[in-house]
Amino acid sequence: MRISAVPDAADVDLEKIDLFDPLLYSDGDPHPIWTAMRQRAPLHRQVLPDGRQFWSVTRHGDACRVLSAHREFSSERGSLLHQLGKGDAASGKMLVSADPPRHSELRGPLNRMFSAKAVASAEPRIRRAVLATLPPPGHSGPWDVATSAALLPMAVAASFMAFPEEDWVDLVQWTSMAAAPEDPSFRVSSPAATLAIAHHQLFDYFAKHMRHRRANPGEDVVSYLTTMRAGSEQLTDEEVVYNCYSLLLGANATTPHTVAGTILAMAEHAPHFLRHGDADGTRVPLLIEEGLRWTSPASSFLRHAVQDVTLSGGTVREGDAVVVWVGSANRDEEVFSEPFRFDLTRDAGRHIAFGFGPHYCLGSALARIALRIYFSEFLRRFAGAELAGDPVHLRSNFIAGLVHLPMSLVPRAGT
């Protein structure tokens, strides 16, 4: 999505906005709307033409409350806005669609697989995977950052799941279809048909690998899922497949769009940082956190109230759908000073780009290692980047990302 430098919220008519429409995020800019909502309607209700309705929360404190208070807000009726009114077939079976105590039973064993210590030991493998997605040193021609970065979660997450490299392009396509079925780059016939095709292809693929790992277990994540116990029982075949889907879709939703959006932000707002680089390695961690806050790639999360709850601006009734707009929470003026300035000296540690509470991103440590390697190597190789064409933004109310980002790169002297 486009990001306003200084959003003008004065003329926003909150009676006419449509936060459900994916075109808003590919062709427009939701930030003036979110700014107006934080100021005037921090709890906003939208009714769709078919009668479905949802509340939106846009302030940081309310967002954290909705995402963390599982006794007040449930994930089991779907966590994505396009599931509104449809429910979730994976309810209670998939990590992102389960509430405690089932969520804790699933998350506990998986935490051991994705802890900071566990993924740190795999850094050499992650490095090889990340470097394969970068242009070579000295490259100065056009380069599509978004297309290249799209392979990053497959190079990292799919390697942890032992999915063959020759399958990565298909996995990128299928997960993109599942995450953004309205986008013209991925849509087949209709959004509903696109989603059905993506689910069929992915579930069939995961089921095939699940059966193979049950017979021939290894040290990969899929093998671990086939043998781990959640509570007193092993996962069923269906639960293994659902959680493979959740892990890969989660990786696709964050890392590549953080890369592309952060490089665009550096080119537009911090060319001096690109010129000087990060020779001592002290500034890349700040770049990563500000890049995550700035891009907020997982743009929205859906929850349902399990009791009446009072938030800023009013009361949500039991059963009501509530959408947390992460990109708005990460621009909350009460939390982030000058939130529309890309500031590489900022301590952006309070951002919620990886979520908040029980559903905080399981792969966050893995993503941060991949981003650290990526940006460190990018800054070592290149001293500048300029747009070489118009960016193409993803048509999705779930992911804030880029489909194409053509750039011209300036090689760093001596590389």
DSSP state of 154: I
Q: How many domains does the chain have?
A: 1
- Of 116-130, 157-171, 229-243, the range with the highest mean pLDDT is 229-243
Task: Report the pLDDT value the prediction gives residue 78, as an integer from 0 to 100.
Answer: 94
Tell me whether residue 362 is in a domain. Answer: yes
Tell me whether residue 13 is in a domain. Answer: no
Residue of 63, 60, 159 lying closest to 359 (CA atoms) = 63
* Apex 400 CA angle, 143 and 201, nearest 5: 85
For residue range 282-336, list pLDDT tens digits in order.
899 999 999 999 999 999 999 999 999 999 999 999 999 999 999 999 999 999 9
Tell me whether residue 6 is in a domain. Answer: no
Task: Report the pLDDT value the prediction gives residue 220, as an integer from 0 to 100.
Answer: 92
User: How many other β-carbons are positioned within 10 Å of the β-carbon of residue 178?
Assistant: 24
The β-bridge relationship of strands 53-57 and 321-325 is parallel
State how far the Cα of 231 lies from the Cα of 92, in Å rounded to an integer: 13
Task: Report the pLDDT value the prediction gives residue 118, as an integer from 0 to 100.
Answer: 84
Tokens of 96: 């992102």
End-to-end CA distance of the chain: 33
State how far the Cα of 244 lies from the Cα of 160, in Å rounded to an integer: 11
Residue 415 has pLDDT above 80, yes or no: no
Please say whether the beta carbons of 409 and 140 come within 8 A. Answer: yes
Residue given tokens 């994916």 in the structure block: 22
Tell me whether residue 282 is in a domain. Answer: yes
User: CATH number, domain at 47?
Assistant: 1.10.630.10
Tokens of 152: 């990053």
State how far the Cα of 241 lies from the Cα of 54, in Å rounded to an integer: 30
Average pLDDT, stretch 47-73?
Answer: 97
Tokens of 244: 């493979």
Phi-psi region of 334 (alpha: psi -120 to 50; beta: other; left: phi over 0): alpha
Phi-psi region of 51 (alpha: psi -120 to 50; beta: other; left: phi over 0): left
DSSP string, 268-301: HH-HHHHHH--TTSSSHHHHHHHHHHHH-SB-EE
Tell me whether residue 198 is in a domain. Answer: yes
Least confident of 38-52, 58-72, 80-94, 127-141: 127-141
Please say whether the beta carbons of 112 and 118 come within 8 A. Answer: yes
Residue 158 has pLDDT above 80, yes or no: no
Tell me whether residue 16 is in a domain. Answer: no
Task: Report the pLDDT value the prediction gives residue 229, as an integer from 0 to 100.
Answer: 92
Tokens of 271: 């060319």
Average pLDDT, stretch 122-144?
Answer: 88
State how far the Cα of 373 lies from the Cα of 286, in Å rounded to an integer: 14
Task: Report the pLDDT value the prediction gives residue 5, as an integer from 0 to 100.
Answer: 66
For residue range 1-31, list pLDDT tens digits in order.
777 666 788 889 999 999 999 999 999 999 9
State how far the Cα of 285 lies from the Cα of 368, in Å rounded to an integer: 9
Structural domain including 130 reads 23-411
DSSP string, 336-353: SSSTTS--TT---TT--T
* pTM, full prediction: 0.95
Average pLDDT, stretch 113-122?
Answer: 85
Residue 384 has pLDDT above 90, yes or no: yes
168's CB contacts (< 8 A; 6+ apart) are 151, 154, 155, 158
